[in-house]
Amino acid sequence: MRLLALGVDHRSAPATVREALAFGDSRLGAGLDALRESFPGNEFVVLSTCNRVEVYAAGPADAAPDVDALSDFISEFHGLRHDAFASHLVGYHDEAVVGHLFRVASSLESLVLGEGQILGQVREAYRSAVDRKAAGPVFHAVFQNALRVGKLVREKTGMDQGKLSVASVAVDLAREVFDTFADKTVLVIGAGKMGDLTLQHLKALNPGRILIVNRNLGRAEAVAARWQGQAVPFERLNQALIDADLVISTTAAAEPIVTHDQYVRVQRARRNRLALILDIAIPRDFDPRIGDLDQVALYHVDDLRAQAEQNLSRRRKGVEPALQIIERETAACYTALRRQQDAGMLLRQLGDRADQVRERELEFLFQSLPQLTEADRAAIAHMASRLQNQFLHHPRAAVRSAASEPAPPDAPHPVLTAVRHLFGLADAPVPKPGLKKIT
């Protein structure tokens, strides 16, 4: 058995190469079908995201595709010349495939450390392979373990705790200030990219009302329609500030759009209700002195970036514990694969040896009793086959059970060793592990 992972990611290839090699939703099924047709008897999973495109392959040592064969397939399938992507390809072999996949599922190799989306993407890639009958017993074991390890790393290390973007940190801060948002009015000033991104995060809070203010009312209306909000003309900004409990300002104005004196009047009209203002614009949209007013909490983009950096620092502290978990789980998974292969070969040896003995004895019996009819011979042969299967039933079950039990890496399982000795297979060549780490 051989394992291979071949592809590109955000570290090895620019976006143009990743896009050219991507297996989009419309092409993923066709890609898996083409892989099965090109390399019969092998298993495949294709992981295709914005930041990585990887083909995972598993198959018999004498039939599994190598790097050149898989690279040729990618070239032909996408209609690309080798020199357009070959220098960006990264490959992993055998045990390194398992470790790489576990790191990917744990988001250690993501563009954003600790992001949670990749685990779902790995799950969908595996499901797609199962649906197309491209995944078999090897990848059932490897990918199910990868999903478990990815979840385990998050639970044990807190790698996914704390947001890393300014917009998401702003929303997290809002959660700390307000217990509920069902009765709150949220005001977003600015309808550009940052404003739209902020609204994407805000939607999860389910606020009672969303107001969008922009100098261009048409853009505000377009954004409001996308996020079920209400567009407000820029001339009515003061009234929107009076109504709002949470303000997120994202404009690109050259100078503050809300002065200290202006907000004093706003806060007076608000009857001094608590206001949270998250000014993530550069330059600032709100006069910094507004933060000194009673019942007003004003945070600038630098405050939010500092929090994001602290969150990233905490995530980085989880990298080493995560790698320790992954190293341990990789060894365990790979050992189980090797033991499953060893057990399969042992079962074939056991069956072949029993078949040889049965056929030899039947031949001796039939030669010594030439008077037996064809019906007699068939009945005796059927009885001998049933007797053989019944006699081997428990040894076979013990071997299969032993193959799934935990045991030290690189150590032969005692049950497998015992079966070899008990059935005279000790002198038969013990199959070498078909999976060997290539460095």
The CATH number assigned to the domain holding 83 equals 3.30.460.30
Is the model's pLDDT at 361 over the cut of 80? yes
pLDDT value at residue 167? 65
Domain boundary pick from 307, 324, 358: 307
- % of the chain beyond a pLDDT of 90: 54
Count of domains in the chain? 3
Q: How confident is the model at residue 161 (pLDDT cuts 50, 70, 90)?
A: low
Q: Are residues 193 and 150 in the same domain?
A: no
Whether 176 and 293 share a structural domain = yes
* 133 lies in the same domain as 238: no
* Residues written for the chain: 439
Q: State how far the Cα of 199 lies from the Cα of 188, in Å rounded to an integer.
A: 8
Rounded alpha-carbon distances, angstroms, from residue 33 to 16, 61, 129? 25, 21, 9
Asked whether residue 426 carries a pLDDT value surpassing 70, the answer given is no
**Residue 293 domain-assigned?**
yes
- Express each pLDDT in 378-425 by its tens digit: 999 999 999 999 988 888 887 777 766 665 656 667 777 777 777 877
In this predicted structure, what is the pLDDT of residue 432? Answer: 42
The Cα-based distances of 319 to 182, 281, 313, 330 in angstroms read 38, 32, 10, 16
pTM for the model stands at: 0.64
The more confident residue out of 401 and 239 is 239
Q: What is the CATH number of the domain that holds 193?
A: 3.40.50.720
- pLDDT tops 50 at residue 3: yes
Instruction: Give mean pLDDT, residues 173-194.
Output: 87
For residue 379, the surrounding DSSP H or E stretch is helix 374-403
pLDDT of residue 163: 52
Catalytic residue positions, numbered: 50
Q: What is the CA radius of gyration of the chain?
A: 32
Task: Compute the average pLDDT of residues 278-286.
Answer: 87
Question: Which of these, 398, 416, 419, lies nearest to 407 by C-alpha position?
Answer: 416
Question: pLDDT: is 172 or 283 the higher one?
Answer: 283
Q: Give the domain range for residue 228.
A: 166-307
